[in-house]
Structure 1
């Protein structure tokens, strides 16, 4: 069965001639010696697909009697530890943990919630919700409910439910109808009918939405993004804009997020790690191309000038090449 976490435009693929027990042994040696052999860890973990890393972890556990993840945590620290742990975590569990982290404690990291929920497919979200329940014994929906409110909550819950129609073939009549609904719900009336925005933007397939956006322009003479900005506010506005961006061009959405995490004072390593780890087998090649197109420099060089040491080496290996 093909994994919903593997696409055709990733920088990391299954390594040929893979041998899980040999890799597990090499990792044990790298961790067990005096001082850690980071180079071996980086070579192996960035040179194998996530599915292969899970097999290494299984072999490691059988041989060492403890979790490879715990061994890495005990041996590494800081950003290097975080990216290594991300690499050995199954994708659905990784998303679940990122969602939990964005809701834990005081204050919610809305941007991380938005990034994950706006960009994942319905099939991916179903797996994330399952993983969330397995790990935390609580439903993702319940945690979102108690952590957010209003239209923002409603839209997040709809997305978390994984109800976007992925099989829908773009249908022009439906696009015309939905565009009119959006126009009537926003620009045309006094006060906005947010429910209609949620209905269209959280249920239609991305190709269908693209068609709806074109029709919206024909009807209203403006881009839907502009209407969203003038009709909504706060996190709800951010979420709707993220959905529009993902529907138009998901890799460009991630390129923009990466750029934000790299520019300015101090790097947002959590976002950097999350995107590189979670898109490395899906569309990181396309994200790199969009990054270059949007910012005139390669993602590789941006990472290089913003990070250092073994952490930098790991990210550059995931990035896969300089454009």
Structure 2
């Protein structure tokens, strides 16, 4: 069965002629003694797919008796160390860790929570939920629910439920019906029936939502994004807007997030690392294209100018060649 975390538009693919034992031995040698051969570590971990990295980690433990992730944590530090640890973490477990960090720290990092849950497929969310319980022995839905409230909480829990339709076919009659329901729940009435927005935006497939938004504009004369800004507010609005953006163009959604974290006041390395690692085998090539279209500058060159050292070298390897 194909992985839910791999697509043909990623920058990282299976390495031809892969040999897990050879790579594990090279990593062991690179981290032995005083100092670390960072170049070798970067070349191996950014040049192998996540599935191959898991096999390397298994061989590494057989050689050394130590988890590769723990060895990297001991031998590296800062943003560089964190991105290497991310690379050797299975994708669902990585997302589970990121979510846990957003809700277990001081205050909730709503933007990170929105980014992850709005963009993942139902299958991916089910795998994240399973990984979350395996790692933390706690329910993802209970932890998310405990740390959030109101319509924002209800929408997050609907997404965590993983019931979004995965059918790639969109139906015009359903789009017309749903567009009317959304129009009646918002623009057409005094006050907003939030439950209708939550139900449709969290259960319909992205292709179906995209067609629904087109029908909505025909019906109301407004884009769905504009109506949501008028009818909702706060984190709830940001979450619904993220779903709309992902349904319309997921790579463009991530391109916007990347530009914000690179060009904002100081580089947000946590977000930069999370997006590049999590999309590296899915659609990072598409994200690069959208970034260039939106900002007239390559993602590669912006990362190069806004990061430094081994962290920069690692991120540029993940990003792939310049555009």
Give the TM-score category using the shorter length.
Answer: over 0.9
1:171 corresponds to: 171
2:77 corresponds to: 77
CA distance in 2, matches of 1:237, 1:304: 33
CA distance in 1, matches of 2:8, 2:195: 35
Q: CA deviation at 1:132?
A: 0.2
DSSP-derived class of the 1:163 partner: coil
Deviations 1:259-278 (A, max 9, x none): 00000321101100000000
2:273 corresponds to: 273
DSSP-derived class of the 2:31 partner: helix
CA distance in 1, matches of 2:22, 2:168: 45
Q: CA deviation at 1:168?
A: 5.5
1:245 corresponds to: 245
Q: CA deviation at 1:2?
A: 1.1
1:255 and 2:255 correspond: yes
CA distance in 2, matches of 1:33, 1:46: 23
2:68 corresponds to: 68
Deviations 1:29-73 (A, max 9, x none): 100132100000000000000000000000000110010100000
1:89 and 2:85 correspond: no
1:36 corresponds to: 36
1:232 and 2:232 correspond: yes
Which consecutive unaligned segments of at least 5 residues does structure 2 have? Answer: none
Pairwise CA RMSD: 0.6
Q: CA deviation at 1:167?
A: 1.6
Aligned residue pairs total: 323
TM-score, normalised by the number of residues in structure 2 = 0.99
Deviations 1:260-298 (A, max 9, x none): 000032110110000000000000000000000000000
| Counterpart mapping for 1:1-323 below 5 A | 1-167=1-167, 169-323=169-323
* Structure 1: 4+ residue segments shifted above 3 A: none
CA distance in 2, matches of 1:271, 1:105: 16
CA distance in 2, matches of 1:62, 1:310: 27
CA distance in 2, matches of 1:47, 1:171: 41
TM-score, normalised by the number of residues in structure 1 = 0.99
Deviations 1:175-221 (A, max 9, x none): 00000000000011111000000011000000000110000001100
Which consecutive unaligned segments of at least 5 residues does structure 1 have? Answer: none
Q: CA deviation at 1:105?
A: 2.8
CA distance in 2, matches of 1:82, 1:19: 25
